[in-house]
Structure 1
Amino acid sequence: MDRRILKSREAIVEAFVALMAEKNFEQITINEISERANVSRGTVYLHYTDKFDLLDQCIKSHLVELIESFLPCGATGIFPSKASLLHTFQYLGQHAFFYAAVLANKGVPMFRYRLQAALLRGLDKQIDMNGINRDMNKEMLIQFLTSAIAGMIEWWITNSMPYTDVEVVEQLWALMERNQMVPQPFDKGMTI
């Protein structure tokens, strides 16, 4: 891709995320995005249909990167090891500004929904329904765990990461072990 095009896209996304950190999504205009990015309105429209398309593409690209962070070095499973879970929380910490902006912005419930949907698909393949989970309803168990993990991510990010990524991972891993979330093959072709 042409370096100028890439630079314009990066400036637009950076301006958009900064505006989302400052105000509600519904209040953001293309004019504000273009002014903050130091590009013309036409340049914004050249890359994105509207602010909804821009939001959708931002969320999609960050969720793809987040899912890829689950799977370092060709591993399988939504969190195949404590090291991959730590890698995921390190990724979240490195991109905390974006995640805080979309999680705290009341106009962007789509992000949490899509995060939960991605977790749901991964956990569905990973939950061991033997042992303590034998008498549980799998659908309810997966819904509960998905909400819990997404909630923990949201809480950690929106509260300015009050515990280190290592501390959060230790606690989350212990909870996952209690619920017999043993690594199972994971579909790398998962859609967002």
Structure 2
Amino acid sequence: MDRRIRKNQTAIMNALMQLIAEKDFEKITINEIAERADVNRGTVYSHYSDKYDLLDKCIENQLIHLMESCYSIDATGPYPTKAPLLLTIKEIEKNALIYKTLLSIKDVPSFRVHLSSMINKQIMEHMKDNELSLDELGKSIYAQFMSSAIVGVIEWWFTQSMPCSAEELTERLWSLLEMNRMILGP
């Protein structure tokens, strides 16, 4: 990809993230995004069909970055050890403003949905690779429960102004995950 194109896309995405932190997503206009990114309106439309497409691309970029940063160290699944969970939470902590902003979009819950879906998929992959005593419906319910719980705890952490470190949150969340994993059996 051309360096100029990448620079414009990064500026546009950063502009959207800054604006979302300041006001409701629904009230943001393409003109505001272009002005904040220091590009013209046509440049925004040359990369994105509308602000929803731009938001989806921002979310996709953040999730890809999160996946690359956190899941690559353990190919057997999302949380078979504490290390990937800790890396995930530390990465979220390091980029707290971005993730808090994305999770706070009220009218467009897409980041929460995408994050939950990503975690759900990783849990399902982990269960597929292991002998578990659940049928397919049970695995689906379990993966949904776990992914919703993890995302819910991360949201809680942000809304409570991150009252503990990433390490402590990981320890406490890991204990809960371990208790719930016991129902799966060996």
TM-score in terms of structure 1 length: 0.83
State the alpha-carbon separation in 2 of the partners of residues 141 and 72 from structure 1: 23
Structure 1 residue 158: deviation in Å? 3.4
SS in 1 for 2:80: coil
Shift of the 139–35 alpha-carbon distance from structure 1 to 2, 3 Å rule, reads same
Aligned to 2:109: 109
Partner of 2:33: 33
Deviations 1:105-139 (A, max 9, x none): 21221111111112222222335744xx89x9443
2:84 matched residue in structure 1: 84
Give the number of the structure whose residues are more often helix, by fraction: 2
Closer, same or farther in 2 for the Cα pair 1:146/1:73, shift >3 Å?
closer
* SS of corresponding position for 2:44: helix
Shift of 1:73: 3.4
Match of 1:49 in 2: 49
Structure 1 runs not aligned, ≥5 long: 182-192
One-letter code aligned to 1:152: V
Tell me if the contact between 1:104 and 1:158 (Cα under 8 Å) persists in the aligned partners.
no
Is the contact made by 2:74 and 2:84 (CA closer than 8 Å) also made in structure 1?
no
Q: Which residue of 1 aligns with 2:121?
A: 121
Which letter maps to 1:30? I
CA contact (8 A) 1:70 1:84 kept: yes
- Name the structure 2 match of 1:21: 21
Q: Matched residues in 2 for 1:90 and 1:51: separation?
A: 29
**Structure 1: 4+ residue segments shifted above 6 A:** none
Aligned AA (1:108): V
* Residues matched between the structures, number: 179
8 Å CA contact 1:48, 1:54 repeated in 2: yes
Tell me the CA shift for residue 46 of structure 1: 1.4
Unaligned regions of 5+ residues in structure 2, if any? none
Q: Bigger shift: 38-47 or 61-70? A: 61-70
1:79-120 Cα offsets, whole Å, 9 max, x none, are: 232122111111111221111111112122111111111222
1:165 aligns with 2:171: no
Higher RCO (C-alpha 8 Å, min separation 6):
1
Q: Distance in 2 between matches of 1:80 and 1:53?
A: 34
> Share of identical aligned residues, percent?
48
- What does the per-residue CA deviation read over 1:50-94, in whole Å, with 9 as the maximum and x for residues that have no partner? 101100101111112222333233532112321221111111112
Alpha-carbon distance change, 180 to 160 in structure 1, aligned in 2, over 3 angstroms: same
TM-score by length of 2: 0.85
- Contact between 2:73 and 2:84, CA under 8 Å: does it hold in 1? no
- Cα distance between partner residues in 1 of 2:3 and 2:160: 36
The structure-2 alpha-carbon separation of the partners of 1:159 and 1:179, relative to structure 1 and needing over 3 Å to count, comes to same
Partner of 1:178: 179
Counterparts in 2 of 1:35 and 1:46: CA distance versus 1, 3 Å:
same
Amino acid at match of 2:86: L
Question: Are 2:163 and 1:151 aligned?
Answer: no
Paired residue secondary structure (2:164)? coil
Q: Report if aligned partners of 1:69, 1:84 keep a CA contact under 8 Å in 2.
A: no
